[in-house]
Structure 1
């Protein structure tokens, strides 16, 4: 009888470690965090604090695993790093890896991902033929193992080739003949001969729907399931695919009949048991010593054993048993933990428990899963939500230590290859289904995945579907689009350039936001945080006390000292600093040309036509007899206001700041204004500064009008990313 197993299970079986004690995967982060306390990981932008590093340890373990998979050592990477871009990083990483291995050796463990194994030849000889379905990447180490397998027993590999994985498999050189896209191959591994070649089926019906928010996508899921089940499709033949598993929380809100079966289960961190244990730990931590058991001796696991007894005496039986389980897990490391504060160990256990899942044992017949779980499976009908850029494909953190050029040189998958692999998974899923629908969010923060263009998928509005499915009849907004007549109390208000721009773009938007106060709660994203931080570093680096030669050095020192909210942001900041080299070189040239920074992140309060304004100017330089206003731009593609028809322009930022500057320095001084591209080190001049200054009185006069009509804007493109589009019935 044929026997099936996962490729991971197969590799684990044929790799032997005689008389070695394998390190449980759950303990890898713990040992690495202990090793990190002995290495200067701060030079990588990470905190060496035990718990802080523990949270970031997956970045390092993934990197070490990748290098081991291609047989590349950290010292040998230096030969690939032509410009010594990562030289300092690699030295720290090498010391961290050695410290990690040393910690393991002290406890008699080996990390099987980083250790050479013996080949279990007898297991392979037990099979007359082995067949392997390839869906993902094959590392050099894995290919070497398959070569060993093929030398003992016939090995046939099956793989599907499309435009997303063609280049990768051609690069591997798996066959003597050249592979072609849109075919399914069976290949004899040992001889590299193609045994069969069959054309892949064409895509079935695929349509996409645009929605205004993530929650709205649930409407498409519910509507499609209702339609398909009524058409006679078996629920087991329907799949809901989540690029981000957190979307399951939205589905659960509307899954009152328990039709869905969630392959990812439920997060244990959301359970009442986890939350109650977390609350109890926080309560005890807040007690002053010696009232808290967490501050009493003995330290280490002994204190935790006392704490479990305390919980049990309070009737918290389940919490006590959970902690006992955690103590058993950590028991082999008691020697390491004996001097650790109990509160730290408890936090460590909470992190471990937070990764656990509770199986969805009472789920329905329609499967909800991630894309990786669909490999090798076939469904008749498929819904994919969150078909947005940033999720399809999902960016990887694996380029944090090496760029794509170096990765290609040492035979590691590049960023593009990893992204294309994800697209291959989605394409394979859609190809195997008879009908598929894709949902995505389209608003100011989100845009559809470029894969939609590559698939040439028809796109429809999901607005009416959303209203009909979730709320019954379509909503009417007749009362909201009537004429609104009001006045702006400009004498009592303080304006900014963005507030003026809102008024000029759309008076109705201004009315809702600034008069009625319908302000949306805005959360700062990572890009905004990084932008503000770079501005702060630049302000400090261009302080008059710091010489021109030392500015970049000071900027980099601030980067090293910064406490970043996440490891990803830390490395994005380093990448940004690297890209800003041209800016600092340009600054040296400008200094020689006589440019002198006068204002840095300057707050200005000023008056124009009797209206009070406030703003922050990134920088003002004195260049000869001129004053230059500089607005930093930290974007890959700098876009500036090029509106030649001044009647249509709404951007008066530089015009306002020029007025503030003239009021501050006095007189009709010569002023120029520039957008400063921090990546390219180039200056893009505002072409119509004086013309806009002349127009300001006319534009500001509109603010003062009595009985002003707050009409809808004529250009509906403004509504695309407007928070009030639904109120104005302009969501389409």
Structure 2
């Protein structure tokens, strides 16, 4: 007959416990549990009860809300949205920070942030006030906090001859003290495996810890009498370190042996261009291993970021994988639809029993729903005896509520999920006095937020486990496949890890960011060491992602790593042979098109651009509304000049008149460009740019001239080889000089350049041809142009921006330039007479700012 092993075995994870039991022979099994369960069962806080994260979040929510209500100015420092969800998100941020300082027994006043970051002194004071209120509220409600003094339940601990603890991870100071306190009642045998990443963490336990060894350390601080019998200790008398008074923490090295050389590890690494492409290797490798007879239990897939499991769920058509982390509750369409309908029903209820609080009413509703669901499924009508009072609460619902609830579809939740939801409500009932401040709608919002955080087990998956690295502690297998071996995923940085910088953490003896990173690397290193037959890692390699530094560090330690291009070896999708690029040829007729100076210039610049804009009429993207670009500014300056000159059509422009025109133009611009600081800056720039323009205009006004028209539209035609080509346009300004000559002016807000000169000369020649044509017709003819005909025409472009030297401000169309541009215009018109091959321009410099560049593969 087997005797009962009186030892207690403690592991880091539930999977390690399962592996431990699987390794035992048949018979009476020894007791095993996780280290968190050990602490919860071996310690208690006098006069206080345990509290869940749900309760902590609610309390922090109310503290933040009350604090910001009392001192609204704090919103400038605490960037929490002042809403129900905003306060909840604030509590999500603060809780990890408060937990960390409590676990490391750090008082807020001890944080030397004031000495390092003086600018954050006020922030720290606010955090300290929030923390003080939080701890005081917990005391008021009789709820325990992490740094509360606890006592050992000696009857529980002394029931074991010794406790075997397989430690893998970092224990905070409070947890270390708890181990010392337990050692006052029974010896602890602590087993650790060390490497270059984690050995320094255990110096608190044994000063001579070295990397690369397996240690068994006995922690025993029991008092013994003269006969050597342990006397135990008074658990109610504990010093500041948590150790029973009168006992001396004693550590003894019981065993030490070298671990296998890391050189025995071989890692096959594959890199991919896309993150999702890693699935191609993983799924194919799993299929091959299973086909070769490898048990699915001997294959583990590690996802540093659990979101990667969404790719697997999408592409695992063979259903070989199961997900240890489970799936989100609302990932099931059926459950999501049921929850949405339930919430709609609850929100529609406006009348509730007067004798019941909102929370008790919600509790009764869920109890009724779950009771009915279980009754219909011929299961027990209550989850367990402790929940019996809750299940009786539905009797207080009236017939109208029950009738409404009976319209809901059948409840799709398992009894396990039902118990979790009732447990959440039970937590809330413990702080019902706090929740009375919440409205019914806020209470529902809070509850459904917590419900959507629940997970469901993956019961339909295969035998190959997909899990996070923390779940792998203490277990071994034949094959390990790891994805996302990239920096950013490994090591993975949390916000709480960087809240205090390294210098502060070192002063407070708290784990630094480097410590956190090393601990993560240790988990992966241990996992690779425990893989008996093969280790495969994949990572993304592109401009934005690079492999994790862990691979280089392992190579320095002697680990053999082979890297291959996974895209060349494994294709996620079938790869088709790329088709050779063939330039598209577009041939069409221009037809009865009316050319403007702009469209003709586009035709001369790039025929393909002309086709896209004027024949295919492809709309160009509009600029952002908030962007006050150069085009909009140019239009505004044109309007200002039209406003000031147009008011004096037919009037002699002399020195006095020019002064009035200049003032009115600047006033118009000022009123249009003073809405924002950016526009005001634009106004000052354009005002400075126009100084040279006004100087030139005043000099020309000495001989006097008349303004005949501003922004004058026209239609005309040009006869070439007995064919008429219709033209149209709008001239910025037409002046009549003292000698009867017309001066045609076009404004340009851009600065003169060699590239723009040819385009602008073409435009001036276009205007002159139109004015000299017998078919010329002005649109909305002003009285100053009525019945007039130019005897001579002078065409010029005004460059409004400040240009040096001064002579470059105006570009005059000489007789020689006119004849050259006229021949060019005639040739361009001839090219449009028949079918046109709308080819791309060979001068790709004009493609830089073209809206159709992507379409042209430029």
Offset of 1:708 from its aligned partner? Answer: 11
2:411 aligned partner: 318
Query: Counterparts in 2 of 1:30-429, with a 5 A limit?
Result: 30-40=58-68, 42=75, 43-78=77-112, 81-84=115-118, 86-106=120-140, 108-169=141-202, 172-177=203-208, 179-189=209-219, 190-193=250-253, 195-202=255-262, 203-272=264-333, 274-277=335-338, 279-280=340-341, 292-293=348-349, 300-301=358-359, 304=362, 309=401, 311-318=404-411, 327-429=425-527
Unaligned runs of 5+ in 2: 8-30, 69-73, 220-249, 367-400, 556-560, 587-597, 600-611, 619-625, 627-679, 687-748, 758-798, 806-841
Change (3 A) 1:71 1:334: closer
Choose 1 or 2 for highest CA Rg.
Answer: 2
1:463 aligned partner: 567
Offset of 1:664 from its aligned partner? Answer: 8.1
- SS of residue matched to 1:197: strand
Q: Which region of structure 1 is more displaced relative to structure 2, 233-242 or 270-279?
A: 270-279
In structure 2, distance between residues paired with 1:230 and 1:193: 47
Change (3 A) 1:366 1:302: closer
After superposition, what is the alpha-carbon deviation per residue over 1:630-679, rounded to whole angstroms, capped at 9, x for unaligned? Answer: xxxxxxxxxxxxxxxxxxxxxxxxxxxxxxxxx8852259xxxxxxxxxx
Change (3 A) 1:668 1:483: farther
In structure 2, distance between residues paired with 1:668 and 1:359: 76
2:546 aligned partner: 447
1:11 aligned partner: 39
Q: 1:24 aligns with which of 36, 47, 52?
A: 52
After superposition, what is the alpha-carbon deviation per residue over 1:340-397, rounded to whole angstroms, capped at 9, x for unaligned? Answer: 3322111111111111111123332111111000000101101111111111111121
Is 1:437 the counterpart of 2:536 in the alignment? yes
- SS of residue matched to 2:268: strand
Q: 2:106 touches 2:508 (CA, 8 Å); kept in 1?
A: yes
In structure 1, distance between residues paired with 2:326 and 2:345: 31
1:667 aligned partner: 803
Change (3 A) 1:84 1:708: closer
In structure 2, distance between residues paired with 1:45 and 1:598: 31
- SS of residue matched to 1:45: coil
In structure 2, distance between residues paired with 1:709 and 1:78: 55
Change (3 A) 1:369 1:666: same
In structure 2, distance between residues paired with 1:664 and 1:334: 73
The number of aligned residues is 519
Change (3 A) 1:338 1:112: closer
In structure 2, distance between residues paired with 1:384 and 1:239: 8
Change (3 A) 1:406 1:475: same
In structure 2, distance between residues paired with 1:152 and 1:242: 41
Offset of 1:438 from its aligned partner? Answer: 0.8
In structure 1, distance between residues paired with 2:156 and 2:363: 44
Query: Counterparts in 2 of 1:616-655, with a 5 A limit?
Result: none
2:782 aligned partner: none
Query: Counterparts in 2 of 1:536-547, with a 5 A limit?
Result: none
In structure 1, distance between residues paired with 2:132 and 2:429: 24
In structure 2, distance between residues paired with 1:245 and 1:38: 36
Q: 1:80 touches 1:406 (CA, 8 Å); kept in 2?
A: no
2:724 aligned partner: none
In structure 1, distance between residues paired with 2:459 and 2:472: 19
In structure 1, distance between residues paired with 2:333 and 2:118: 51
> Higher relative contact order by CA 8 Å / sep ≥ 6: 1 or 2?
1
Change (3 A) 1:45 1:201: same
Q: TM-score, normalised by structure 1?
A: 0.63
Change (3 A) 1:598 1:386: same
In structure 1, distance between residues paired with 2:456 and 2:101: 33
Q: 1:483 touches 1:709 (CA, 8 Å); kept in 2?
A: no
In structure 1, distance between residues paired with 2:485 and 2:137: 44
Offset of 1:25 from its aligned partner? Answer: 3.3
Query: Counterparts in 2 of 1:548-587, with a 5 A limit?
Result: none
Offset of 1:52 from its aligned partner? Answer: 1.9
Q: TM-score, normalised by structure 2?
A: 0.54
In structure 2, distance between residues paired with 1:709 and 1:118: 72
Offset of 1:443 from its aligned partner? Answer: 2.8
Offset of 1:448 from its aligned partner? Answer: 2.0
- SS of residue matched to 1:113: coil
Q: Which region of structure 1 is more displaced relative to structure 2, 29-38 or 438-447?
A: 438-447
Offset of 1:274 from its aligned partner? Answer: 4.6
Offset of 1:429 from its aligned partner? Answer: 0.5
Offset of 1:244 from its aligned partner? Answer: 1.2
Change (3 A) 1:160 1:80: farther
In structure 2, distance between residues paired with 1:335 and 1:398: 30
Change (3 A) 1:143 1:301: closer
In structure 2, distance between residues paired with 1:664 and 1:245: 60
In structure 2, distance between residues paired with 1:437 and 1:78: 44
- SS of residue matched to 2:66: coil
After superposition, what is the alpha-carbon deviation per residue over 1:281-322, rounded to whole angstroms, capped at 9, x for unaligned? Answer: 78679x9xxxx4369997833674798737514224528996
Query: Counterparts in 2 of 1:710-725, with a 5 A limit?
Result: none
In structure 1, distance between residues paired with 2:565 and 2:525: 23
In structure 2, distance between residues paired with 1:44 and 1:167: 37
In structure 1, distance between residues paired with 2:405 and 2:412: 8
Offset of 1:82 from its aligned partner? Answer: 4.3
Q: 1:389 touches 1:448 (CA, 8 Å); kept in 2?
A: yes
